[in-house]
Every structure is written in C-alpha cells, then in structure tokens.
Amino acid sequence: MKTANSKAKPKTDIPDLNIFEKIKNFPEFYKEAKEELKKVVWPEKKVVINATWVVILIVVIVSSILGIIDLIYTNIIKAIFG
C-alpha cells in the first residue's frame, strides 16, 4: 500500500541504466545503428541540390519580406515619435 509521501516512479520504455552499463552497451548500439543505416534509401545528388536551392530561395524571399516590413514599421514609428 502506498502512502501519501511515497512518490511513484513514472513508467517508461527506456531502461534506467547507469553510465557504465551504457558504455558497455555502446558496441551493440553502434552495430545496430550501422545496420539500420544500410537500409536507408538516400536521395540522389540532383535531388539534394535542387532542395537546397529551394531552401535558399525561400530564405531570401522571406528575409526580404521581413526586411521590407521592418523598414515600413521603422518609418511609421519615426513619423509618429519624431
């Protein structure tokens, strides 16, 4: 029976390992991660380059819009407060 002062530990799927157990399990983790990376379907170079250009273009457009809005608001504030 639990008392009012006892704190229940929340259940998680992550085992509570100390640092030495984590270090001991690292080689197994590394091996499994390497196996999973072999299953990944990597995009072709052309797709990555095109996606990069799209991101750069969007960043330039959005930053230009925000810069224009900032300039407009700056001029409004200067006109109001002198």
Q: Any idea where the domains of the chain sit in the sequence?
A: 19-81
Please tell me the distance from the alpha carbon of residue 9 to that of residue 16, in angstroms, as a whole number.
11
What's residue 66's pLDDT? 98
Between residues 8 and 44, which one has the greater pLDDT?
44
The per-residue pLDDT for range 17-68, each reduced to its tens digit, is 677 787 888 899 899 999 999 999 999 999 999 999 999 999 999 999 999 9
What's the pTM? 0.55
For every residue of 40-80, DSSP letters joined together read: --PPPHHHHHHHHHHHHHHHHHHHHHHHHHHHHHHHHHHHH
